[in-house]
Structures are given as structure tokens and as C-alpha cells.
A and B are shown apart, each in its own frame.
Chain A
Amino acid sequence: MMYDLLIAPFAEFDFMRRALVGVLALGVGAGPIGVLMMLRRMSLAGDAMAHAILPGAAVGFLAAGLNLFAMTVGGLVAGFAVALGAGAVARATQMKEDAALAAFYLVSLALGVLLVSLRGSNVDLLHVLFGTVLALDDATLLLIVSISSLTLVALALAWRPLVLESVDPGFLRSVSRAGAPTHLIFLALVVMNLVGGFHALGTLLAVGLMMLPAAAGRFWTRELTTLVGVSVLIACGSGVLGLLVSYHSGVPSGPAIILVAGGAYALSVLFGPVGGLLPRFLPQRHLEA
């Protein structure tokens, strides 16, 4: 019974095994990235960047059809251009990063829509929007796994300045010039993970696997390392559970994965010990000191 429910889908079908590898790899990369985005108050920046990637991927698609390479390059170029442009404007002028990012991604999105409309709409474009987690080929899987591996290595190397810049940017500026390059590396990682995510989940849902686990994890711990671990667990767990829900009930897998992550978030808001609703409404007696 349990076997049929949890194991059989993956044991019997090759495409489910591929999807499983894909979502696990995505979860491992997106977990820590999402945590850092949330702590750097960039939760919505991820959404903006996902919109910025869409036109690039669409242009790649229009130029070469459903070609992994063209769409990846298009997405990376558009994403980097917007992230770096907005980052540069924010650091060089008085403008805050969120406003700069909004300006850049809106232009990018409009440009993308214009380009797509020149070639007429195409149903296959839905692949770009909502992904094809059940049809991941070897090349796409390799891309996703490579991006996750690279993300983990880059985060390991840049972890100290990344954390320091989030806690006390003024202090980092006073002791080191690592702040700006670190931030750019981080933006690049965000773009890469979104591009990896859009092959499986689509540009719009890729952000979900990044932000929902991080937001949910914040209700369970006050400690950064644990928070990253919890987020990775929630991201990977949502991936697996979402695939199973999708398999057994026949709903599209991308949205199913994100909805499971959304469910984890809702549970965390309700029951999370760190500032969740239930602990707040069921106060315990205060301590002596």
C-alpha cells in the first residue's frame, strides 16, 4: 500500500525518476539561495527577476524552438542584464535596488512581449511559462544538477561576506571591498537557479521553490545554518510530495509542487514555534528571568 503510494511511481516510470532527480537538485540549490534572498529583503526581487528571464527564454525559443541551449542562454543573458544593470544603478546612484530592479524588469518584460508578438503566439510557449518537469531529458537534468553544484560551491566560498553584508553592510564596507562583487555573484547565482528552475517548473513557479521554503523555515528556527537546512528539506520534500500528488491525481506537476510548498508555508505560519500564530495565541506563563 505504502509502496504503491510512495515508491511505485518512481520505480516503474523513468520520467518520474528523472523528475525526482530534477526537483531534488533544484531544492538543494534553491533552498540556501531563497534563505539569503529573504534575509536580504529581496523576496520580491526573485519574482521580478523571473519576469526578466522570461523574455530572454522566449527569444531563445523563437529563434531555435524548444532548444535547451538557446533558451538557457537567452534566459541567462536577459537575467544577468537586468540583475547587473539594476545592481549597478543601485550602487552608483541614490536609487534603491528595489526601484532600480522594478524599472529594469518592466522594460525587459515589455521588450519580451513585443518580440514574442512579432512572431505570433505559440502554444509551446506554455512550456517556458510553466515548465516540463515530467519531460526532463538528460541534457536538461545535467544542466540543473550542474547549476545546483556550482551554487553550493559558490555559496561555500562567498558565505562569510554574503552573511556579513546582510547583517551589517556598513561594517563590511569599512573592512573590505568584497561587498559589491559578493552581491553581484549572489545575483548571478539567483539568475542561474531561476534559469535552472524554469526548465522544470517554468519561470513563474521557479521562484516558488526558492521563496516558499525559506519563508516557511523562518518560523522554525532562529539560527541561520539550521534555517538553510530546514529550507532545503522543505524544498526537496515539496518536490517529492508534489510529484506524487501530481502522479496520483493527474494534476499538472509544476503547480502541484509549488502548492505543496505553499501548504508547508501555511502550516509553518500556523504552528511554527518562532513567531507562528498558534504559539502567539496560546501564550504560556512568562518566565522568572
Chain B
Amino acid sequence: MGNVTKSVLAFRNLTLGYDRHPAVHHLDGDVAEGDLLAICGPNGAGKSTLLKGIAGVLTPLTGRIEGHVPAREIAYLPQAAEVDRSFPIDVYDLVSMGLWRRAGLFGGINRADRTRIEHALAAVGLEGFEARPIGTLSGGQMQRALFARLLLQDARLLLLDEPFTALDAGTITDLTALVKRWNGEGRTVIAVLHDFELVRGLFPRTLLLAREAVAWGTTGEVLTSHNLAEARRMCEAWDEDAPACGPVSGRAA
């Protein structure tokens, strides 16, 4: 693209949604490589939907996402990870799944990989939990384990959907340190967050979303009371009888 900094993602007139109802509407913009971007907005603003679109779980209704990162270099932590907590598997094995890109379907896990797994567990403060069945973990410990898995995925683009919800201050401090470290290593991190204080402290850039982009830029300029009020006003319930959207959508079938 013609940008000064190399962009990892570009949204071009992107509309994502469910049953033809847009949840993200006509979004345009670029995410630069190495960005630390927070996505904020009221409930139902399309934040999770946008991450699903980037992760490739949801196909756009119109427009497109130009990804300049191969899909295998994207790591996605959904809001409610679908982990079956009753499955008889221990923390070590859960975390080692992060090596999928390296090991794939059949590859073995060698000594260097084992060291990596140990380092990842140590980085999230889960030493000594290796043999614990995942069913015995608390919510915060589970999130730490999922972060350890993210760590092993060694991705260029990380998508985190409300990663710090329902966690205590200590856990949040530890995990935000990891996010900072990832970004310091040149990785791009996009996170959906509700805690504005956290966003102001950690994320240089913010996208304020209310189905459409209300503002996108430096966090200080985006999270103003004027913009936040605007976002709340724009985000209303979907209209069952909404007409097909303008000529650009062109898919009113």
C-alpha cells in the first residue's frame, strides 16, 4: 500500500454482520505494522465482530479486509474461548498447542520446544501447574494459560477480545506486561477493551467503534467525552425492517 509505514491490515469499505444486518458498517482504515491498537465502544458496537472478520471466522457482507499477514501468523483469543474445561488434559498439553505452527499435525516436540513451553508457563506465572487438569484452574489461571499458549504461537498479529475481563489487578498487570513485551518485539496487537484507564495507559492508538468508526487515531484524541457520547448515541438496536443499504452494497438479494 502507499502508506509510509507498512500496514498489516487494511479495511476497505468493510461491512460485517449477521443475517444481512451490519454489525460493522462501511469501515475504512489501515493498521500499521507494530501498532498497539485498542478497539473501544459500547456493547453491540461490532468490536468482536471486527476481530472475527480479521481472524477469518466471519466473511464480509461487502467490502474486504486486505491482510498482509499470512493467516497462520495471526493469533486470535476469542472473548469466550471455547475450551472444554471438563476435558481430561493438563495445563502443559493445553499450552503446548501453541506450538501448532511449528509442529503441525504430526511434528514432534523436541527439547528446545519443551524449554519454550517452560518459559511460556513461567512468563505467565504458572510454574508448577504443568500437571494440573485444566478443569481445576480458576478463571484467572485459565486466562494465564491461554496467554502462555498465545506466547508460543509466536504470531505477527495478535487479536485479543476483552482479554482482561473478570481478572484481578495482579493478573491484569502480569498480562498487560506481556502485551507490552509483544509489541516491543515488533508484533501488532489489536485488543478489544472496556477499561478506558487501561487503554489510556497502555495503548497509543484507539479505534472507537459504534458500528461505524466514530474516531480512529491517537488514544488521547479519540477517547474524548464528545466522541464517547457520540458512540453511545450511534449504537442502537438493529432495525428488523431496515432497507437494503445504498448502491455501494449492491447485494440486496
A residues bordering B, Cβ < 8 Å?
Answer: 39, 157-158, 160-161, 163-164, 166-171, 173-176, 178, 218, 221-224, 227
Contacts and interface: CB of A to CB of B under 8 A. Distances in A.
- Most chain B CB inside 10 Å of its own CB: which residue of A161, A164, A167, A227: A167
Given A160-B106, A167-B89, A168-B83, A175 B78 contact: no
Contact of B133 (A160, A168, A222): A222
Contact of A169 (B75, B82, B100): B82
A178 B97 contact: no
Interface in B80-121: 81-84, 87-90, 94, 97, 100-101, 104-106
Contacts of B55: 174
B57 interface: yes
A160 B82 contact: no
Contacts of B56: 174
Contacts of A167: 83-84, 87, 89, 94, 97, 134
Given A163-B89, A222-B133, A176 B100 contact: yes
B101 A175 contact: yes
A22 to B, nearest CB: 30
Contacts of B78: 170
B88 A174 contact: no
Given A169-B82, A171-B97, A175-B100, A223 B88 contact: yes
Contacts of A218: 88
Contact of A39 (B87, B97, B101): B87
- Most chain B beta-carbon neighbours within 10 Å: one of A158, A170, A175: A175
B76 A174 contact: yes
Interface of A is mostly: helix
Contacts, number: 63
A227 B82 CA distance: 23
Contacts of B104: 176
Nearest to A225: B88
A173 B82 CA distance: 11
A170 B56 CA distance: 12
B69 to A, nearest CB: 13
Interface residues of B, number: 28
12 contacts: A39-B87, A39-B88, A157-B106, A166-B84, A167-B134, A171-B81, A175-B100, A175-B153, A176-B100, A178-B105, A223-B90, A224-B89
A166 B87 contact: yes
Contacts of B153: 175
Given A157-B106, A170-B78, 10 more contacts: A158-B105, A161-B105, A163-B89, A168-B81, A171-B83, A171-B97, A174-B75, A223-B133, A224-B87, A224-B88
A174 B105 contact: no
A229 B227 CA distance: 60
Find the residue from A158, A160, A178 having the highest chain B CB count within 10 A: A160
A168 to B, nearest CB: 5
B232 interface: no
A227 B86 CA distance: 14
A173 B105 contact: no
B3 to A, nearest CB: 27
Interface string B193-235: 0000000000000000000000000000000000000000000
B76 A168 contact: no
A40 B17 CA distance: 30
A41 to B, nearest CB: 8
Contacts of A169: 82
Which of B83, B88, B90, B153 has the most CB atoms of chain A within a 10 A radius of its CB? B88
Contacts of B89: 163, 167, 224
B72 interface: yes
